[in-house]
Amino acid sequence: MTPSVETPVRVRGVTKRFGSTTAVNGLDLEVQRAEVLALLGPNGAGKTTTVEMCEGFLSPDEGSIEILGMNPAVDNARLRERIGVMLQGGGGYPAARAGEMLDLVAAYSANPLDPAWLMATLGLTDAAKTTYRRLSGGQQQRLALACAVVGRPELVFLDEPTAGMDAHARIVVWDLIDGLRRDGVTIVLTTHQLTEAEQLADHLVIIDNGVAVAKGTPAELMGRGAENQLRFSAPPKLDLSLLVTALPESYVASELSPGEYLVEGSIDPQVLATVTAWCARVNVLATDMRVEQRSLEDVFLDITGRELRS
């Protein structure tokens, strides 16, 4: 086996233009071995263009790309032996049966996974004799994923891996991606599903208009700039002056609606203790107390000002 590369994906200052449109603009990415990087962004953000440059289908106009230590535009043939690719929308001979298509891709590898097992795992056994063009969108997607992993790659690119899949299939695919990572496979995936990014990714890059607008772990991104809020329920019309005095300066406590209270400020364990101590002092049982975090969706909307699913 070839020696493993610690940073299988290095993208530096990459720009790609199509005519007058700049699809990707000065993008930097790095993925460490056995990590999952999710490229998150609305349609047309530049996710697929980025992935296709990494796969060697497109060449960047500026910047450099190193995949497993190789330049994908130059060492394309050698690179393709070691990576697995799931193209957006799949791809296959229209008249070939699903099973034949996977057998074909498996035949390119010296030591592939068992295609029949993979078909069964992805719920495709019943569709094995169905021609590619007659598969449903979700089945084509699952077959495309099977084709991407059947050759035991060390790095896989998954372009919208669960698009068009039902909930059950999505869970299997998430499990599979998790299993790949656990076994040492590096994964770059694109998605416009926040739950998927949150669930699978070690690192996230939010792309908008070809620019990386935010990077980090899902937890970092969700905590980022978040003015946390503490909410609780209690009898209405409580006097909050004692609470405000007890809290550090700049914190705000208010009754949003009768019986619904809100404390705004950076919520840490001390603040939580202060609030509960005040409850004890005024002899109030606060129920439904919770620290609100922003969802990834909130973060995304804040950063891009756009709905994700366009």
Q: What does the binding site for other proteins look like in residue numbers (CB under 8 A)?
A: 1, 4, 55, 57, 77, 80-83, 85, 87, 89-96, 100, 103-105, 107-111, 113, 132-133, 144, 147, 149, 151-154, 172, 175-176, 178-185, 199-201
Q: Least Å distance between CB 56 and other proteins? A: 9
Q: Least Å distance between CB 173 and other proteins? A: 11
Q: Three-class SS of residue 263? A: strand
Chain-centroid distance of CA 118 in Å reads 23
Residue number with CB closer to other proteins (94 or 258): 94
Q: Least Å distance between CB 99 and other proteins? A: 11
Residue number with CB closer to other proteins (181 or 192): 181
Q: Least Å distance between CB 98 and other proteins? A: 13
Residue number with CB closer to other proteins (275 or 299): 299
Residue number with CB closer to other proteins (105 or 207): 105
Q: Least Å distance between CB 109 and other proteins? A: 6
Instruction: Report CA torsion sign: 58, 64, 66, 72.
Output: positive
Q: Three-class SS of residue 225? A: coil
286: left (phi over 0), alpha (psi -120 to 50) or beta: beta
Q: Least Å distance between CB 206 and other proteins? A: 18
Residue 110 contacts residue 101 (beta carbons within 8 Å):
no
Residue number with CB closer to other proteins (234 or 296): 296
- How far is 300 from 113, CA to CA, in rounded Å? 38
Enter the tokens of residue 69: 């230590």
Burial group, residue 98, by CB count within 10 angstroms (0-12, 13-18, 19+): buried
Residue number with CB closer to other proteins (39 or 85): 85
89, 97, 101, 180, 245 from 92: Cα distances, Å? 10, 9, 7, 23, 68
Enter the tokens of residue 278: 């005040």
